[in-house]
Amino acid sequence: MHGRVIRVGDMGEFALIDRLQRFLQAPSGSQVVKSIGDDCAVLQPSPESELILTTDSQEEGVHYRLDWCAPEDIGWRCLAINVSDIAAMAGWPLGAVVALSLPPELDVAFVDGLYTGMQELARDMACPIIGGNMTKTTGRVSVTITVLGEVPKGQAIYRSGARPGDEIWVTGTLGGAKAGLEALLQPDAVAGLPASHALMCYRRPQPRLHEAQFLRQRATLHSLLDLSDGLSGDLRHICQASGVGAQIEADAVPIHDETRRIAHALQADPLSFALHGGEDFELCFTAPPTQIDPIRGDFDQQFHRSLVRVGTIRKGKEVTLKQPDGSETVLPARGYDHFRPAEG
Ligand SMILES: Nc1ncnc2c1ncn2[C@@H]1O[C@H](COP(=O)(O)OP(=O)(O)O)[C@@H](O)[C@H]1O
Ligand SMILES: Cc1ncc(C[n+]2csc(CCOP(=O)(O)OP(=O)(O)O)c2C)c(N)n1
Ligand SMILES: [Mg+2]
């Protein structure tokens, strides 16, 4: 009747759940006592740890578009941004539950793709998917994931611990996801330019889970978060939670060459992509001077990406941007806000 397309509405809720089980076979990890198939999943955290819990939604049209991303990318992304929050506490995940809202006319092959991508990341991050929920929607696809994690007692790293004199560090490069997003929004303007790095940043963000473990074990960090809204907005979260100010050095902010070229092709400022773009999901942390320099080489070698010092925590509450010529201006918090119109 519908050719080869099987729609969610034709298959029905329970057949679809049964179908998903094959993506979620035998979650490994001794912490999973009971997985998909009962009223709750059961997890066994270790006695020396604290539990950490996070949830985030990814909405069609707000976080991804079905014509921009393969279903596998969307599945990856939905889980990645949640695991990234666990990394942002320097913990590790125990398991995830996935709440789907699906329009009945959606092709079941999309759901298969979603779970294939999600499982790829779940394996990489040892974060078993142990259940979820499914509902019809009269709107668009929505995926809400909740991840339970753990961290050794007393060792979670909060946004609130930054102190004047701390160095501010980030992992990797910033602005890539914004460059990818803009390349998808304005394909003609970037035609012919390499964009594979930028598109990967946008479609397949990498939670810096192992990186955060390394940092917690090898150095004293005072504060830590993941960069979801953009450095300008997220650093302000650290500053407000810690009651401090900060200075960012414009020429220290790490930006990938591809991001620079895409920004230039769009007559945009690459630094603005890096500061305000959001969705890079790199780590931003503060640490007392001398903590990070000795471990930078090992970090580079282990993760093939750099730790870059981008500024300093100061007294007060202002967040400023220092230009290479020494001039200093207040850095506006133009990070992403769901309910405020986007700026340049
Ligand atoms: N609807 C809500 N009800 C209660 N708490 C919320 C709600 N939305 C966000 N929060 C809380 O606000 C804080 C910041 O949220 P958010 O900016 O989404 O963080 P993140 O970038 O880590 O996802 C978190 O502690 C989160 O749990
Ligand atoms: C179609 C589309 N338009 C715009 C964006 C850009 N965008 C959407 S949400 C967001 C910020 C991060 O998302 P949020 O839900 O606030 O994550 P959280 O801070 O809660 O982790 C950005 C930059 C996008 N990813 N996709
Ligand atoms: Mg959130």
CATH code, domain carrying 54: 3.30.1330.10
Residues 132 and 166 in one domain: no
- For the chain, what is the domain count? 2
Residues 83 and 230 in one domain: no
Residues 148 and 175 in one domain: no
Compute CA 114 distance to the chain's CA centroid, rounded to the nearest angstrom.
Answer: 17
Q: 71, 112 in Cβ contact below 8 A? A: yes
Ion ligand 3 neighbours (CB, 5 A) are: 56
- Kindly state whether residue 64 falls inside one of the protein's structural domains: yes
| Substitution site in 228, 232, 336 for ligand 1 pocket (most atoms within 8 Å of beta carbon) | 228
State residue 41's pLDDT score. 87
- Kindly state whether residue 131 falls inside one of the protein's structural domains: yes
CA 142 to ligand 3 centroid distance, Å = 14
Can you tell me whether residue 47 is helix, strand or coil?
Answer: coil
Give the CATH number for residue 200: 3.90.650.10
Q: What residues are paired with 36 via a beta bridge? A: 38
Q: What residues are paired with 321 via a beta bridge? A: 248, 329
Kindly state if the Cβ of 167 falls inside 6 Å of ligand 2.
Answer: no
- Kindly state whether residue 289 falls inside one of the protein's structural domains: yes
DSSP for 80-125, please give it.
HHHHHHHHTTT-EEEEEEEEEEE-TTSBHHHHHHHHHHHHHHHHHT
Q: Where does a domain end: 152, 184, 204?
A: 152
Q: Where does a domain end: 152, 178, 202?
A: 152
Residues 199 and 324 in one domain: yes
Residues 115 and 263 in one domain: no
Q: 274, 182 in Cβ contact below 8 A? A: no
- Kindly state whether residue 307 falls inside one of the protein's structural domains: yes
Residues 79 and 15 in one domain: yes
Task: Compute how many other C-beta atoms are within 10 angstroms of the C-beta atom of residue 11.
Answer: 16
Domain residues for the domain of 270 are: 159-330
State residue 343's pLDDT score. 54
CA 148 to ligand 3 centroid distance, Å = 15
∠ CA 17-97-24, rounded to 5°: 50
- In this structure, the residue with its CA closest to atom 20 of ligand 2 is 56
Q: Where does a domain end: 109, 136, 152?
A: 152
Kindly state if the Cβ of 56 falls inside 6 Å of ligand 1.
Answer: yes
142-152 and 245-249 strand pairing: unpaired
* Token pair 């790095």: residue: 197
- Kindly state whether residue 166 falls inside one of the protein's structural domains: yes
Residues 46 and 133 in one domain: yes
- In this structure, the residue with its CA closest to atom 19 of ligand 2 is 228
Residues 173 and 82 in one domain: no
Kindly state if the Cβ of 117 falls inside 6 Å of ligand 2.
Answer: no
Q: 126, 92 in Cβ contact below 8 A? A: yes
- Kindly state whether residue 336 falls inside one of the protein's structural domains: no
Kindly state if the Cβ of 279 falls inside 6 Å of ligand 1.
Answer: no
Residues 253 and 117 in one domain: no
State residue 29's pLDDT score. 67
- Kindly state whether residue 303 falls inside one of the protein's structural domains: yes
Kindly state if the Cβ of 63 falls inside 6 Å of ligand 2.
Answer: yes
- Token readout for 260 is 């620079």
* Spatial CA neighbour of 180 closest among 250, 85, 303, 280: 280
| 46 φ/ψ angles, rounded to the nearest 5 degrees | -80, 150
State residue 99's pLDDT score. 98
Residues 139 and 174 in one domain: no
State residue 3's pLDDT score. 65
- Kindly state whether residue 1 falls inside one of the protein's structural domains: no
* Spatial CA neighbour of 129 closest among 69, 83, 87: 83
SS3 content of the chain, % helix, strand, coil (to 5): 35, 25, 40
Residues 169 and 275 in one domain: yes
| Substitution site in 57, 62, 81, 338 for ligand 2 pocket (most atoms within 8 Å of beta carbon) | 62
Dihedral of CA atoms 176, 178, 184, 190 in degrees, nearest 10, equals -70
Residues 147 and 219 in one domain: no
The Cα 315–Cα 244 span in angstroms is: 5
Which helix or strand (DSSP H or E) is residue 286 part of?
A: strand 283-287
Q: In order along the chain (344 residues), what is the average pLDDT of each group of 10 residues?
A: 81 92 74 86 92 97 97 98 98 97 97 97 95 96 98 97 98 98 98 97 98 98 97 97 98 98 98 97 97 98 98 97 97 87 59
> Edge-to-edge strand order for the sheet containing 92-102?
49-59, 142-152, 92-102, 129-136
